[in-house]
Structures are given as C-alpha cells and as structure tokens.
Chains A and B, each alone.
Chain A
Amino acid sequence: METEVRVSGVGMTPFEGDSQRPLADLAAAAAEKTLADAGVDPADVDALHFGNALAEALDESAGLANALAAALGLDGASADRVENTSATGASAFHRGVDRVESGTADIALVVGAEKMSAGDTRSVTEAISRLVHPREYAQGVTLPSFGGLAAGAYLDRHDAPREALAAVAAKNHRNAVHNPVAQFRKPIDVEDALDSPVVAAPLRLYDCCPMSDGAAAVVLTRATDEDDAGHPAGPRVAGTASATGTHAVAERPDPLSIDSVRTAGERVFDRAGIAPDDVDVACIHDAFTVLELIELEELGFYDPGNAWVATLDGDTALDGDLPVNPGGGLKARGHPLGATGLSQIVELVWQLRGDLPESRRVDGAETAFAINVAGFGNNSVCTVLRA
C-alpha cells in the first residue's frame, strides 16, 4: 500500500573529487537548498536524519546530526545519524519516511553527506576494504575484486562481449554531461572504456565509480496540496523496502545472484502495488558497470542475460524504453557514500516534477524506482516514487 509521505523538497551540492568545503558545510548547503525548495522554515522541522558512512574512519568528528541540527537552527528537533555503508543515503531516507508515515514527525529533513577526500587514498581504501568479511579481507579482497569476479562470470555465462560493460559506462557518462551536479561531465565512448587501465579484470577504470565529496537532502511531509507560496506537495513515496544478503560474497550459491537485491525489489514492488514494467525511470546502483546489469535482471526489469543486450540496443538510454541512471549514476554523477542514495531520490524527484531541461529529461515520467546497495549486496534498499 502506498504511503502518505511526500517528497516536498530536494537539493544537493555538486559532487566533486576534492571539495574545498568541510563535511559540515556540504551537509548544511544541501539542507538549506532543500528547505528552500520545500518552502519549509527550519523551526518547523521536527526530525533530522543524517546519513554518513565514513566520518570516524576519515578522522572527522562524531555527533554530526546534532551539529547539523544546531547549525540549521532546528531547535528541539529529534536528530540521529544513519550508517549503512554505500546504502547509507537510502537508509536515512527510509528512516525519515517511517517517521512521517508513523506520525511521529510531521516534517522530516533527511541529509546525506560524505567527504571522501578528507582522508588520503590509503586510509579511504582501507576503510572501504574493511566492509568485506574478515576472511575475505585477509585475502586482499576489495569491492572491485567482487566486481571483477562477477563481471567475468557474467560475460562467460551469457557469452557477452566486453563492450557490454563498456556500453554501461558510456551511457552513464553521456547522461552526466548535462547534469550540473555530476562529478564527471565528460562524455566517453565504448573504446575509451575498453582502453582504460585494468582494475580487476575484466573491469577497467571506466567500469568503476569514483571516490567523491558531496551532499544531498530531501524534506518529507504529508502535504497533499501546493502551499500558498506555490511549493508543490511533491511526489508520493509509493513504497520502501530493504533486505540483507550474505556478508561473505562467496557464500552466495551463484556469483550472479544477489539475494538482497531480488528480495528488496520484490518487497518494494509489492508494497507499491506495481510491477517492473510500470517503472518509467530508474536509478540503479552502478558502483561497477556489471552491477547495473545484474541488478536490472535480479529486479525483474530484464530476464537473466538480457540486460546487456538491452543496454547495447539503447533500451536503457535516456530516450529508451527504460531510462536508467539519467543523472549519470554512481559512475559519472559520483559516489559520496552517505549522499548517494539521497542523490538518487533527488534525481528522480526532479524527473517526476519535470523541472529539468529537455536535454536530460525523461518525458512524462510518472513512476520512478531507485536501488542503493551496501557493499557488494550485503544490504539493498529500494524506493518507488509516484508523481
């Protein structure tokens, strides 16, 4: 059953590789844009949920939610921090939806922020490497390692060419060209991706998302009508659902099976009362190009082995039957862990409101889907929005 919760305001900072702004400033900037977009006075916010994954690991301070509440003037609001590795942003969003849906908050502000450049490459790599199971860590396994194993298995099983992965990267870079908040606005073609350095064979550099700085935010309400100042009630949250999977990736019976993705997808489609065919635009967690293909198949958008064909045929392009990652995805918009899931929601709200330029708009979109994935499928968090 659809919730009564509306996304009444959205906003985000540009995603960058090396922002000059501190984490707290990034978060506050996204929050202020969002409150202005919603036409909400900070004093009226009664719940703040702040998503951040790596602050302590990168020597930032704790107590982020309380500091942000004070900085924004959310006097007396309840506040907490949400952490769910790469899916932190979507999990924070779900907490806010739950608060408003349950009636324990009338107006919730959800902010996700990350400043991955706060640490040197070694410390960031170490922090992300620690997301894997300790016995995997002992083998030097990293998230790109999982991506390489899955990509090799995907190409082998489905007799797909290497270009199938490169086409995902080229498509998402193309979508980011006209997105002013994207980290990479440079188009690449399939040959560029095929010629880039190997990271974890067969994955190459352009198959992998970058490390990013940035913040994104939403305001959630139960408004039903446009307010006096003309702020729309906003798209409805038709459904939210999440599911965990195995911590150790090797324990899955099939390297191309991500149970958490499939289960969370089934749950959210059931709760929203829709089927994959009803979705007009999707944000898919493409931390690696092969993940976009596997997730599209696990979620039921395509049969196993067909997502790569659909990608090469242009079905997932901006003007295709199912536009996927119209803002560039993690691949090109960027992946500041705590903000990514919220940036997917921001993008989809922009699409549903139709307030994007024609160069990057999915015309007539009424139903939107997002999946934000923790680790390599340790936890998947899905959302369906309706215009």
Chain B
Amino acid sequence: MTGSNSGVPENGAAADRDLPADRAFACADCGRRWYYDRRRCPDCDRSAADAASVRLETGAVVATTTVETTPPDVRAPNHLALVRFDEVRLIAQAAAADLSPGDRVRFDGSHRLRDGPDRTDPRLVAAEES
C-alpha cells in the first residue's frame, strides 16, 4: 500500500509547497511527516526541499468548532476540526458539524474552501468503522 499512514511517499518530490488539504510532507530520508511547510525535517534535519508528499488516511479528532463569523470569502458556518493523523496535526474544514473529539475522520470530496482561488480540496468527514 502506498500513500498510507506508514509515511511511504506516493508521488515523489514535493517541489510544489501548495499541497492539497489531504496531503502531508514526508522526509526523503527518515519518512517523518509534517503538514505545515518547514525548511528541514524536524527529526533528521534533512532538507525539506526534496520531501515527498503523502496522502493522509484516517485521523482522530482532538477538538472542533463551528465559526459563525467568517471572513468575507469563507462560507458561514465554517466547521473546523483539529485532527491528529499520527504525528501529523492539522486544522481543516469539516463537511458538517457532527464531529466530536475522539471521532475517526478522513478527507473526502472536492470543495472550494474559499471564494476566489481556482482550486478545490477535500473536507473532513466521519470515517466508516471497519
């Protein structure tokens, strides 16, 4: 399996730092993953310039909020969740307000997260129990 939580790179070097919402960076040496761009791997100090990108599979919700007062180009309400995908932690939009701390989630769909940018990204949804 590639692109899993194991941190196996899926698509080679991630020269483009503007990754889709469901992708994290992965160190080319040690496989350590991170979500918010940085210059070097936090574990082995390898340059992040040649980091790969990996797809995030399922994670656990840490906290949630629903924002009613959003910036002009963001739809209201904006459901947000702080989620842990193993060592990767991120805040992302959720499709609905039905998530709670401890829930398992995954990214799904294709949505315009802000008005204006000509791009779409997946949102968080509840992961089906296996």
Contacts and interface: CB of A to CB of B under 8 A. Distances in A.
Contact of B65 (A122, A126, A138, A200): A200
A36 B25 CA distance: 56
A251 B33 CA distance: 12
A140 B34 CA distance: 20
A250 B91 CA distance: 6
Contact of B113 (A140, A153, A201, A250): A140
A249 B69 CA distance: 19
Contacts of B34: 251
A275 interface: no
A144 B71 CA distance: 11
A141 B68 contact: no
A149 B68 contact: no
B80 A135 contact: no
Interface string B32-58: 001111000000000000000000000
B36 A133 contact: yes
Interface in A237-293: 246-253, 255
B63 A149 contact: yes
Contacts of B70: 140, 142
Interface string B61-91: 0111111111110110010101000000111
Interface residues of A, number: 37
A153 B62 contact: yes
Contact of B114 (A140, A148, A152): A140
Interface residues of B, number: 31
Interface string A142-157: 1011001111110010
A129 interface: yes
Given A126-B71, A197-B68, A198-B68, A139 B36 contact: no
Interface in A331-382: none
Contacts of A203: 65
Given A153-B63, A247-B36, A200 B82 contact: no
A315 interface: no
A125 B113 contact: no
B29 interface: no
Contacts of B64: 149, 152
Given A133-B36, A138-B21, A153-B62, A250 B82 contact: yes
B36 A201 contact: no
Contact of B36 (A126, A135, A149): A135
Nearest to A200: B67
Contacts of B82: 149, 153, 250, 255
9 contacts: A133-B36, A138-B21, A138-B117, A139-B91, A140-B71, A142-B70, A153-B82, A153-B101, A200-B67
Interface of A: 122, 125-126, 129, 133, 135-136, 138-142, 144-145, 148-153, 156, 197-203, 246-253, 255
